[in-house]
Amino acid sequence: MTTTKTMLVAFVLTLFFVISSVHCSDGTSGYGITEATKRCFTPAPCTRGLFYCQTFCSSLSAVLIGVCESGICCCILNQ
């Protein structure tokens, strides 16, 4: 009886250890579901020129690139 309880406890602890050590990826293959790669703002940053639009986008995040499209500043995710 004692051996059975010991084996059961050892099995459960081993199972918990194995489950906790498994690393799962939350990424998806292909394009998948990702955050928006482009966000456009009011034309105010582009009225000062492309450099100001780029500065505006990089101030939001270091991975964004600013582009003026039809006078509207769009921040694009740098991939």
First-residue to last-residue Cα distance in the chain: 61
Residue 19 lies in a domain: no
Residue 28 lies in a domain: no
Query: What's residue 4's pLDDT?
Result: 87
- How high is the mean pLDDT of the chain? 78
Pairing of the two strands 38-40 and 64-69: unpaired
What residues make up the domain containing 40?
35-79
Q: Please tell me which residue, 32 or 62, carries the higher pLDDT value.
A: 62
Residue 22 pLDDT level (bands cut at 50, 70, 90): low
Residue 50 lies in a domain: yes
Residue 40 lies in a domain: yes
| Cβ neighbours for 76, distance < 8 A, ≥ 6 positions apart | 37, 38, 57, 64, 65, 66, 67
Is a pLDDT exceeding 70 seen at residue 16? Answer: yes
Number of domains in the chain: 1
Residue 69 lies in a domain: yes
Q: What is the mean pLDDT of residues 27-53?
A: 72
Q: Can you name the residues that pair with 67 across neighbouring β-strands?
A: 74
